[in-house]
Amino acid sequence: MDVSDWIARCLKDVMDEGVGRMQSGLAVLASISSTSPFVGLFGTVWGIYHALLTIGATGQTSIDQVAGPVGESLIMTAFGLFIAISVVLGYNALTRANKGIVTKLNRFAPACMRSSSRAPKLNSSAKRTTNGQSDSLRLATRASATH
């Protein structure tokens, strides 16, 4: 395997692993944001059910008998909507941030490959100079010192 192919494969593996880690919690956020309005709706139905039970038990339809359970149902609805809206906003912000990071990584990988392909090649069979360094090693040291 060529060194540049190995570097490309390593960069891709690291990028894929990082993207997977960044996206691991997004499915949970999507599930919470899609189910929380139904939890609020369930609270609404539960509150109305209790209001109807109170009306049935007392036989009165006064505001005093219905206000408590209906108020609870409205609070549950508002709570479900609050959670859903908050989580959707968080999900969208994280998705947008993840896309930005992935875009930067996708720009970085080819640039890294180009810079590694321009670097002088070190040859282990190069002839040794008088100070024990090979010509390739001196070229690589000189190239890195100029950058």
Q: For residues 86, 39, 58 and 61, what is the CA-based torsion angle, rounded to 10 degrees?
A: 60
> What size, in residues, is the chain?
147
Rounded to two decimals, what is the model's pTM?
Answer: 0.61
**Tens-binned pLDDT, residue by residue, of the chain (147 aa):** 677 778 788 888 888 888 888 888 888 888 888 888 888 888 888 888 888 888 888 887 788 878 888 888 888 888 888 988 999 999 999 999 999 988 888 888 788 777 766 655 545 554 445 555 444 444 444 544 554
Cα dist from 71 to 81, 83, 85, 102, whole Å:
15, 18, 21, 46
How far is 32 from 28, CA to CA, in rounded Å? Answer: 6
